Structure formats: structure tokens, C-alpha cells
A and B are shown apart, each in its own frame.
Chain A
Amino acid sequence: MPVRVSPARRALVYLLLALASLAVVFPLLLAFSYSFMSESEIATYPPPLLPRAPTLDNYARVIATIPIGRYLVNSFVVSALVVLGQIITASLAAFAFVFLEFRWKTALFFIFLSTLMVPWEATIIPNYMTIRDLGWLDTYQGLAVPFMATAFGTFLLRQSFLQIPRDLRDAAVIDGAGPLRLLAMVVIPLARPALGTVAVYGFLSTWNQYFWPLLVTNQTLMRTTQIGVVQLRFEETLRWGLLMAGVMMIALPTLALLVLGQRQLVRGLTAGAVKG
């Protein structure tokens, strides 16, 4: 939208922005507020907005109830492993689709894309049987390996690689660089925004997983954060404050990551634009 705006118009835009942002972020703000309230304060009507006597009890209780530190570590390790795997597999695959000529390139690309259309639910039952057969229940590899290939990431990187100027590529080839050198020295550095995007998206998706870790981990100590949250629910006595404190502790790292990565994300998606 155009540049020159009157102060009145600017104020209006800021107001709209503030209202819209508030509306979107409201549930999170509420959770934040509730996390400092006691049970009997929450179980009142009309529903309270701000705590009258803020307390850190809920946070203390979360730490005492579930091994949240361990859960955060597990989620972090698994997410990092997945991101690492995805960057490697997607870069290699996208490179092949962009820089190499070979038979059945289109068919293979379509096979990649088709995995996006297979709902995870259609494969989850056999998948946990596979992980079980491999003896990978309750392991980081069991949690991470199935997600280390990504058609979405491959697709995105392909778009990004396609935007690298021909002359740069040709120059490197003439210098005698083999495919791997080309990939490492020329392509990857230029595709950093897109790689950042794949990394952030992969990290967040893995961090937010609930069902797969639920199935594949039996040991509490191998569990991940989203399971921890749901664990706070199954009590004979409902404690919303406790639950909200847990939610906050788990959402905050990802929110921090979002703040850091948000610029990366937008830039990356522009560079790897889905223009067909």
C-alpha cells in the first residue's frame, strides 16, 4: 500500500493493528493471566480477567508435577534432529531437481509431492508398528527419523534454487566444481533465507507434535512438551491455573523462536515464492 499517509490515517492504521493483534493474541494473554491465579479465583463467576493476588504457585506445581525441563530438552533435541535431517535431505533433493538432468525427473518430483497428500493418519498405525519392530520406541530416533524427509521443504528449496542466476552456476561449473561443491559453496549460501524458512517451519511443526510422541514414547522421561501439557489435565481435581502455567512454559520458547525467526520466515518465503 502507498507511502504517504496523513497523521490521522496513520493513527487509524495503528489502532486497527493494535485491535487486530490484541484479538489474535488474546487467548494467549488470558492463559498468561490465569497462570498466576489460584484455583478458587478461577472458579468464580463472572470469569476474572486479571489476578487479584498473583501467585507463582502454579509454576512451582508444574515443575513438581511433570518433568517439564526434561520435556523441553526432549522436544528441543527431537526438533533439532528433524531440522538437521530436513535441511540435508531437502537440499540434496532440491539440488537434484534443479541442477541435474535425468530421466523420470518429473515422475520423481511428483512422487515427492504426493507424500504431502498422504494424510499422516493413513500411515500412523503401520508406522508405529515399524518403529516398534525396529526397537525404536522411547528413542530420539524413533521420534525424529520419520520426519527427516520433507516434500514441503524440497519444494520450497527448489523454488529458491531456481532463482539463482545462471551465470553463477555456469561459472562454478567451468571452474571444475563437482556437484557437491557447487551445492555447498554456491547454492546453499545463496539460499539461506529459504533454508531458514525450512528450519523454522520444521522446528515449530515438530515442537508442536502431540500424537506421534504420544504413541511412540512410553517412558515419561522421553516424552515431549505437548504430552506434558495434556498430562496436566488428567487429574481428578481440575486445576486450570496449573494447566495454564504449563501451557505458558511450553509456548514461550516457541514464541521466542518466532520473534527471532519471523523476519527470516517472511524473507525466505518471498525468495522461494510459490509462483508455479
Chain B
Amino acid sequence: MRRTLTLVTAFVLAAAACGGGGPAGPGEQAGKAPDKSVQPASKIVFWHSMSGVNGDAVNRMVENFNKSQSKITVEAIFQGAYDDSLSKLNTALASNSAPTIIQVFDIGQRFMIDSGEIVPVQAFVDRDKYDTSDFEPAVINYYRVQNTLYSMPFNSSSSILYYNKEAFKEAGLDPEKPPKTFEEVTDYAKKLTKKDASGQTVRYGFHQSIYGWLFEQYMAVSGALYADNGNGRDARAGKVVFNDAKGKTILDWWKAGVDGGYFWNPGIDNDGSANAFNAGKSAMYVESTARLRGHINATAGKFTIGTGRYPRPANAPADGGNIIGGASVYIMKSRPAEEQQAAWEFVKFIASPPTQSQFQADTGYYPIRKAAYDEGPSKEWAAKYPQFLTAVDQIRQAPQNRATNGAVIGVFAQARQRIQKAIEEVLLGKSSTKDALDTAAADVNAAIDKYNKTTK
């Protein structure tokens, strides 16, 4: 037994030694771009989270890049959904097997910056004097923090209102005039809700899933900040501020609709929510612009889909607007200079108008360059899905300010989940909107404190 004990102790010490590491260094150790003369590596690895139709689109993009030149081969690997992929990145970084370039979701921005493991795209932009003037402002401003573009936007979407035109006609509403404000949505929803003889609701007027992103969008179109210090963009965010009057208005409206029986509550199941719209269980709903094509395909022959602007409170200021969502790609610092160089070549390809246009046509995401809209695939797409025009107008017309650029906080995933819990509390009647938001803010602030303590 004594021998076993010694062995165990040895094991423990060994285990503690490796993988433990010393105290963390300074948070932001952003890398520098390699010198222009460095030859790009012949093979780089690209981690992404796109599956299905979108996965095909990514593979096509990578194939086109590989075929367009003979110096660099990109290997694209699907790594599961965004959160799984990020967990894996953590483990890969610690074992020095990180990919060269990785797609990370929008809200992972602060985490990536603080990791000290990336080479900001800005470094390359500055080195090569790369022209970013043609980039879609709403898109690029999300990923620019304190004038530094840390990553290249990859797939961008926003949120809009989808509605059933036939249901509108049936209820005596103009199918070309979707509701624009909270009050109008409520009004329309009441008219669109249909009950059967026994009082069971056959079709609801409106629904939205309990999804933190939708709340963030509502804050932005209300002209409200999510976090302090300019939404975490002027300086590191110290706390969240979504528990203000504007947050309360959003939840009050949401709750009133559900309680009134004309808003349906699908819970957190986003896919179930989308499916319910397809099946005609409710006449209007809000979700990502990227779902448009899927909806049109699933409802072909059943009903016509209309799209409208994302609803906002009637008294929303003029400077409110939608945020961009989606993901961007980061170049990893731990890889050799040659690979970083090759990654930049791939990034430039990604951002080129023809690639962006093709990507839009394949997936339904926004192109990140305005010039892309002039390319063939985008034009065909616009002709086929005129409903997407709403989405384009929406981001083009959104004023650019801290609120509409979106928040940057290190604990965003946690915050989003905590907001979802707050919404559940409100809808279930377990808490007033004010209390729910206040306790949520308190919890998230505690998390931010913890986060900031270990990343300063």
C-alpha cells in the first residue's frame, strides 16, 4: 500500500505540473502580422461550425480558393456548434494543436481578444494597406473594437419579422403592410389569433422563442445599451445595463402578449419555433434573416411569406437599429508565420465580392461587401427572394452607434443564458419584469467581475 501511495503521489505531482501552468500573463497580447516577405505555408487548417447547406457552402468556398491558386491548400473541418467549437479551441490551444484560422461566433469576441492568442486582422490590413471602405458598415462595425478589426466577418445575419400573407388577408389586414411597432404587433396579433369552437387556439397571432439574441436586438432597436462603457467598446465593460426602462418595456410587452393568449410561447426551442411557423401554428414570428430560404422552401404551396422590419417600441428613438449576428474568422497567433500569411490570403479571398456573392446565394447570409450585391449570384438571389430586401434595407438604414454595433463582453454566453432565464421567470409569472431583469443583471455583473479579475 505504501508503494501505491508513493506512486499515486508521484502521479499527482506530475499531473499537477503539466497542464497547470503559472499565473496568467497580461490579457491582451495581440500578435503582429508577419513580414510581407514571408512565404505563405502550403497547408492551413480552418475550423468552422457550418453544417448542412451552410457546410456545403463553406466547402465550396474552400474548394474555389484551393483551385484558384496552387500555393496554398485550406483544409476545412467542421467542429460542431459554436460553443462546442470554442471549447475545443481551448483544449487545442493548450496542446499546441490550434487551427490556423477559426470561425467563432459573434459573442465570443471579447473572449478571443482577451485570450491573447490571435493576430488581429487589423495588423494585416495596416501592413498591406487593405481597403475596407466598401465593407458593409453595420457588419464591420460589430467586429471593430477601439478602431481595431480583430477578426474578419464571415457569416452575418440579423433578425426580421416573418409573416403569413394569406393569414393577413383572412384577418382583414393588408398583406403588404406588416406591423412596425410593439403596439402594432400586439394589435395585429389579436386580430390574427384564431380559436376553434371549443376555445382552443388553432392559430396564434405571433410568437418568438425565448432566445437571448432576440432580446439583444430589441434593446438595440430601442436605442439602448446592453453594457456600460459604450457597450464595452470604449473600455472594458464593468457591468450590464439591460435592466433599465427599455429592457422592462420589452419584457412587459412580451408578457402581455403571452398572457393575453395571442402570443404563443415556444420555449427555448428555436427550431421548433421555426417549424411551428411553417406549419401555420402562428401567423407572425421573429427570427434570423438566414432562415428565410428554409422557410420559403418549407412553405411552398402552403402560404406566401412576407418579411417586415424587426418590431420596435413606438417611442423608440431614431438612432435605434438592429445588430449584426453570426460569426467571424480569427487568425491564430500560435501558428507559424507562414501559416498566418497563408491564412491572410484566404481571408482576402473570403472577403472578395465574387466569393461573398456566391456565399450569400448559397446560404442567405449578408455579403460583407457592398460590391457583392452587383455580382451575378447575388442578383439572382435577390430576384428569387425579394423578401430579403427588407433585411438589406434594415441594416443599411440602421444608424451606426454603440447600441447598434452590439455589446462586447467576456461573459456574453452566460449573459444570454441568464436573460433567457429572466424571460422564463417573467412569462411564467414567477417574477415581475423589473425584478427579473435586476437579478439577472446582478448575476451577470458578478460573472463579469470574476471574468475581469482573471483576465486583467
Give residues in A with beta carbon < 8 Å to B. 39-40, 42-45, 65-66, 104, 126, 128-130, 132-133, 135, 137, 214-215, 218-220, 227, 230-240, 242
Some 12 contacts from A to B, beta carbons below 8 A apart, are: A40-B302, A65-B51, A66-B51, A126-B19, A133-B18, A231-B80, A234-B49, A234-B80, A237-B52, A237-B294, A238-B274, A238-B275
Check A40/B278 contact, CB under 8 A, given A218-B88, A218-B92.
yes
> For A236, what are the chain B residues with a Cβ–Cβ distance below 8 Å?
52-54, 288, 290-291, 294, 363-364
> For A126, what are the chain B residues with a Cβ–Cβ distance below 8 Å?
15, 19
Q: Find out whether the CB atom of A231 lies under 8 angstroms from the CB atom of B88.
A: no
Q: Find out whether the CB atom of A227 lies under 8 angstroms from the CB atom of B279.
A: no
Q: Find out whether the CB atom of B94 lies under 8 angstroms from the CB atom of A237.
A: no
Contact check: which of B18, B80, B88, B291 meets A237 at CB < 8 Å? B291
Q: Find out whether the CB atom of B91 lies under 8 angstroms from the CB atom of A65.
A: no
Q: Find out whether the CB atom of B300 lies under 8 angstroms from the CB atom of A40.
A: yes
Q: Find out whether the CB atom of B298 lies under 8 angstroms from the CB atom of A43.
A: yes
Which of chain A's residues has its CB closest to B275's CB? A43
Taken together as a complex, chains A and B put the C-alpha atoms of A232 and B54 apart, in Å, by: 12
Which 10 A/B pairs are nearest by Cβ-Cβ distance? A237-B294, A235-B52, A238-B271, A43-B278, A132-B95, A43-B279, A129-B19, A234-B81, A45-B279, A236-B290
Shortest C-beta distance, A211 to chain B (Å), equals 10
Shortest C-beta distance, A151 to chain B (Å), equals 17
Residues of B in contact, count (CB < 8 Å): 45
Taken together as a complex, chains A and B put the C-alpha atoms of A237 and B91 apart, in Å, by: 30
CB interface residues, B 304-363, toward A, < 8 Å: 363
Which of chain B's residues has its CB closest to A107's CB? B1
Taken together as a complex, chains A and B put the C-alpha atoms of A240 and B47 apart, in Å, by: 26
Which of chain A's residues has its CB closest to B295's CB? A237
Which of chain B's residues has its CB closest to A42's CB? B275
Taken together as a complex, chains A and B put the C-alpha atoms of A137 and B335 apart, in Å, by: 18
> For B94, what are the chain A residues with a Cβ–Cβ distance below 8 Å?
129, 132
CB within 8 Å: A-B pair count: 97
Q: Find out whether the CB atom of A237 lies under 8 angstroms from the CB atom of B297.
A: yes
Taken together as a complex, chains A and B put the C-alpha atoms of A233 and B270 apart, in Å, by: 11
Taken together as a complex, chains A and B put the C-alpha atoms of A132 and B84 apart, in Å, by: 16
Contact check: which of B91, B278, B294, B363 meets A132 at CB < 8 Å? B91
> For A219, what are the chain B residues with a Cβ–Cβ distance below 8 Å?
77
Which of A227, A234, A237 counts the most chain B CB atoms within 10 A? Answer: A237
CB interface residues, B 36-67, toward A, < 8 Å: 47, 49, 51-55
> For A233, what are the chain B residues with a Cβ–Cβ distance below 8 Å?
271
CB interface residues, B 270-299, toward A, < 8 Å: 271, 274-275, 278-281, 288, 290-291, 293-295, 297-299
Q: Find out whether the CB atom of A220 lies under 8 angstroms from the CB atom of B78.
A: yes
Shortest C-beta distance, B164 to chain A (Å), equals 13
Question: Quick check: is B22 within 8 A (CB to CB) of the other chain?
Answer: no
Q: Find out whether the CB atom of A65 lies under 8 angstroms from the CB atom of B52.
A: yes
Taken together as a complex, chains A and B put the C-alpha atoms of A233 and B55 apart, in Å, by: 12
> For B91, what are the chain A residues with a Cβ–Cβ distance below 8 Å?
128-129, 132, 137, 215
Shortest C-beta distance, A234 to chain B (Å), equals 5
Shortest C-beta distance, B282 to chain A (Å), equals 11
> For B88, what are the chain A residues with a Cβ–Cβ distance below 8 Å?
215, 218
> For B87, what are the chain A residues with a Cβ–Cβ distance below 8 Å?
215
Taken together as a complex, chains A and B put the C-alpha atoms of A245 and B278 apart, in Å, by: 21
Question: Quick check: is B97 within 8 A (CB to CB) of the other chain?
Answer: yes
Check A44/B279 contact, CB under 8 A, given A65-B55, A218-B77.
yes
> For B300, what are the chain A residues with a Cβ–Cβ distance below 8 Å?
40
- Given A130-B15, A133-B18, 20 other A-B residues pairs in contact with their CB atoms under 8 A: A40-B278, A43-B278, A43-B298, A45-B279, A66-B51, A128-B91, A129-B94, A133-B19, A215-B87, A233-B271, A234-B81, A235-B51, A235-B52, A236-B294, A237-B52, A237-B274, A237-B297, A239-B52, A240-B275, A242-B52
> For A215, what are the chain B residues with a Cβ–Cβ distance below 8 Å?
87-88, 91
Taken together as a complex, chains A and B put the C-alpha atoms of A225 and B60 apart, in Å, by: 25
Which of A44, A104, A227 counts the most chain B CB atoms within 10 A? Answer: A44
